[in-house]
Amino acid sequence: MSKKTIHLIAAARPNFMKIAPLCHALKKEPWAEPVIVHTGQHYDLNMSDAFFRDLNLPEPHIHLGVGSGTHGEQTGGVMIAYEKVLEESKPDLVVVVGDVNSTLACAITSAKLLIPVAHVEAGLRSFDRTMPEEINRIVTDSISDYLFTTCEDANENLRREGIPHEKIFFVGNVMIDSLLKHREKAKKSKILERLGLYRAESSRLKAESLNGSKAQLTDSLIKHYALVTMHRPSNVDEGETFRCILEALERISHDIPIIFPAHPRTRKQIDSFGLSDYFKDSTNNESRITGNGIYILDPLPYLDFLHLMTDAKCVLTDSGGIQEETTILGVPCLTLRKNTERPVTVTEGTNIIVGTNPKRILEGWFSIQRDGGKKGKIPNLWDGHAAKRIVDILMRRIKKNI
């Protein structure tokens, strides 16, 4: 069998973690030639290049260099650039992941040129069409030839939308493949030391160490902060909504330091709306946490962020992927949105939807303080082998010439 060229589309932080296990699994197959196509949607060093290093990915074979812009500009830019690539390279299959603009753009461009499309993480629905990502998900699923799902509710969504059952494959969660593979390596990260988080309770811990066990000492040490991420337009592009969330975070920061690695767009909006007074004077990742407050940092590489997330007392986020990661890690998660396209993280995981109302956010935090947060379980097939299942399915279909 001649090798089949398979394009793996990468664009943003969650994409990198999803294509990594697929790339590694495909490289082991004699029939496959994986090609990484980086659209350039995330071009910040720590949000792109550092992720490739941490995930042991090769340099992208193709870089479209599209960059930022409005939804229309970014989607159109990727389509124009990728169409030229497809006309020259003519891959046998294009694999898109997630729900970002590049996912939609590459799927449409491929489908119009009659190149088969596989959508990894298909079928997720928030049922909120004010979210640009929801439109991306629906359209991508409607034109894909292979729909690889992470959970049963995604299968139900696709069937309800009339997708033929032979196109739907329940395989598990490839992003969890990356997390489980790199969890031990992430423990070697020095991010806690660099931020001074070990110092926060040093005097009390020294006294406790005389009587407490090592396990008690460790838990007391590393659970002394909360972690926040926000990037969705509905939160960071609306000044009043952003301010309401920060008011709740400021109250929480009276109890515990808050670490906030900020997406470039988020930091831009903080300045635009005049919200910088909510934050400590922390502008880079060498800053030290010297007490309670909200500390804003530059974007973090994957392993540093995974280490911070693993050891946080809780995570507050509007990211769908982080809802999944906290479920696997057993870390309480408060989702700063009114809905989620990943309901399995609520029904089975550690996630609670608190929205953007300060009262509800604080109720969620006080609950975590009171009883340690919601306890969850690991969803079915979130076991680190999703990429292998996808590759096995593709291999069987490729023997039939896709």
3-state helix, strand, coil in the chain (%, to 5): 50, 15, 40
What are the φ and ψ backbone dihedral angles of 315, each rounded to 5 degrees? -125, 130
Please state, in angstroms and rounded to a whole number, the distance separating the CA atoms of residues 158 and 170. 11
Q: Which DSSP string corresponds to 63-79? A: E-------HHHHHHHHH
Catalytic residues: 231
Torsion of Cα atoms, 117 then 122 then 126 then 128, to 10°: 10
SS3 label, residue 168: strand
Contact 302, 54 (CB under 8 A): yes
- Closest to 361 measured CA to CA, from 250, 284, 257, 266: 250
* Helices within 96-173 (DSSP H only): 101-112, 132-143, 152-160
What are the φ and ψ backbone dihedral angles of 314, each rounded to 5 degrees? -160, 165
Please state, in angstroms and rounded to a whole number, the distance separating the CA atoms of residues 315 and 310. 10
Please state, in angstroms and rounded to a whole number, the distance separating the CA atoms of residues 344 and 339. 12
